[in-house]
């Protein structure tokens, strides 16, 4: 038996109030999400478009974030309601988010996903690709997206110092990007880093948003149709 409300309250005692908790509810049921809402959690993250839409339709009052790899052709399905996309990682994707958001008269908050892990499988841009993206003509004229910061996923490892080094590198890069590209934009202020196994290190290194799944909802079980 997983005590979701208890887990959330316990987590809050370890996370400073200025750090936003995104409860990553992928594979978890609407009933479990409602239990989290009962404990005062209002922000949820999903990584699959179909799953997200199904949950949004049942719980439209929650604040929904997208944290997974996003395909250009699926953007239109989430743009009417999504609050933040943590995983923007190409000009083409950002352009499509901007175009679709314009059709809905919305402005969508986006984070640029940076590749910081040693694993090759993790998504995201290198620092050079990010600088190139930010220099692309037209990017800063897009009216229906707002680039609010950076996101990164650290290497899955027990080596805490390696993880700390990756988060510290991302925090340094965040400050550089802020200084060079968004010096006067107060909205460029979010650093989304830290998951169940490494959120404490991420917070120490300057995270403003932690994305927590299993520590709130329990381990995920895949392949049961859940």
Ligand X SMILES: *Cc1c(COP(=O)(O)O)cnc(C)c1O
For ligand X, the binding residues (CB under 6 A) are 24, 26, 47, 67-68, 153, 195-197, 211-215
**In the block, residue with structure tokens 């925090």:** 171
> Residue 199 CB, nearest distance to ligand X (Å)?
8
Using the minimum distance from each CB to ligand X, give the nearer residue, 86 or 142. 86
> Residue 54 CB, nearest distance to ligand X (Å)?
17
Using the minimum distance from each CB to ligand X, give the nearer residue, 28 or 100. 28
> Residue 116 CB, nearest distance to ligand X (Å)?
12
Using the minimum distance from each CB to ligand X, give the nearer residue, 68 or 188. 68
DSSP the chain: ---HHHHHHHHHTTS-TTSEEEEE-TT--HHHHHHHHHTT--EEEES-HHHHHHHHHH-TTSEEEE-S---GGGHHHHTTT-SEEEEE-SHHHHHHHHHHHHHTT--EEEEEEEE-SS-SSS--B-HHHHHHHHTSTTGGG-SSEEEEEEEEE---SS-HHHHHHHHHHHHHHHHHHHHHH-TT-TT--EEE---TTTHHHHHHTT-SEEEESHHHH-----SS--
Using the minimum distance from each CB to ligand X, give the nearer residue, 120 or 141. 120
CA distance 154 to 81: 28
User: Are the C-beta atoms of 97 and 148 separated by less than 8 Å?
Assistant: no
Using the minimum distance from each CB to ligand X, give the nearer residue, 99 or 214. 214
> Residue 22 CB, nearest distance to ligand X (Å)?
8
Return all residues near 161 (Cβ < 8 A) that are at least 6 apart: none
> Residue 215 CB, nearest distance to ligand X (Å)?
6
Using the minimum distance from each CB to ligand X, give the nearer residue, 102 or 169. 169
Using the minimum distance from each CB to ligand X, give the nearer residue, 48 or 102. 48
> Residue 15 CB, nearest distance to ligand X (Å)?
13
Give me the residue whose beta carbon is nearest to ligand X: 213
> Residue 71 CB, nearest distance to ligand X (Å)?
15
């Amino acid at each position: 038996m997983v005590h979701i409300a208890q887990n959330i309250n316990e987590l809050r005692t370890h996370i400073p109030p200025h750090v936003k908790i995104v409860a990553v509810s992928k594979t978890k049921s609407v009933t479990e999400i409602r239990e989290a809402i009962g404990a005062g959690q209002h922000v949820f993250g999903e990584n699959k478009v179909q799953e997200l839409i199904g949950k949004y339709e049942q719980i439209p009052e929650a604040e929904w974030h997208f944290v997974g790899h996003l395909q250009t052709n699926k953007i239109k399905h989430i743009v009417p309601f999504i609050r933040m996309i943590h995983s923007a990682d190409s000009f083409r994707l950002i352009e499509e988010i901007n175009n679709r958001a314009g059709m809905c008269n919305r402005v969508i908050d986006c984070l640029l996903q940076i590749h910081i892990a040693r694993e090759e499988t993790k998504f995201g841009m290198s620092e050079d690709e990010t600088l190139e993206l930010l220099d692309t003509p037209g990017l800063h004229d897009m009216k229906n997206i707002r680039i609010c910061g950076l996101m990164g996923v650290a290497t899955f490892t027990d080596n805490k110092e390696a993880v700390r080094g990756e988060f510290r590198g991302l925090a340094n890069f965040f400050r550089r990007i802020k200084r060079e590209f968004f010096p006067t934009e107060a909205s460029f202020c979010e650093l989304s880093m830290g998951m169940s196994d490494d959120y404490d290190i991420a917070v120490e290194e300057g995270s403003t948003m932690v994305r927590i799944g299993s520590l709130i909802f329990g381990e995920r079980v895949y392949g049961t149709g859940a």
